[in-house]
Amino acid sequence: MSSNNIKQGGKAFVIQKAQQEHRLEEVNKEFLKDEKYKDDEDLDKKLMSFKKKYMEFDLNQQGELDMMGLKKMLENLGAAKTHLEVKKLIYEVTGGKSEAISYQDFVTMMLGKRSAIMKLHVANGDMKLHSSGGIWRLLGDYQFVS
């Protein structure tokens, strides 16, 4: 492979990531306008954190968190899950409509008021994953639990 092709690949990746970030930012703007979340403290900060985390694990660059991306995210958080467990999590979040989690579903899940299967507490630099019933939630750079 020539060095020109490598540069193009890198350039294309940067462009693709910028486009993805723009699309996710548009979704964030919709959440900021949504009356349902108007009283959510630090919503803008939360959305920025969610966007960053989502982009990191959108491995196929298709704007969705597929099984491998979610599996990698959970492993990164020290909560490795089996293929079947990850599949069940995706099913619960999407209602069985998809095999991947869209960014909108991801944010809705993260902002959800119901009890969560997964809760990430980031306190004193330690990440701890706790389980409970309901939909799952991974929290960003600060602690907030319903």
Closest CA to 28 of 111, 138, 96: 111
User: pLDDT tens digits, residue range 71-104?
Assistant: 998 888 777 888 998 888 888 888 889 999 999 9
Please state, rounded to an integer, the average pLDDT across all residues of the chain.
Answer: 74
Could you count the other beta carbons within 10 Å of the beta carbon of residue 59? 16
Asked if CATH classification 1.20.1420.30 holds for the domain at 3-131, the reply, yes or no, is no
d(CA 90, CA 74): 12
What is the maximum alpha-carbon separation in the chain? Answer: 54
Alpha-carbon distances, residue 115 vs 23, 119, 133 (angstroms): 29, 9, 6
Say if residue 53's pLDDT is above 60: yes
> For residue 3, what pLDDT is reported?
42
Q: Are the C-beta atoms of 99 and 91 separated by less than 8 Å? A: no
pTM score: 0.69
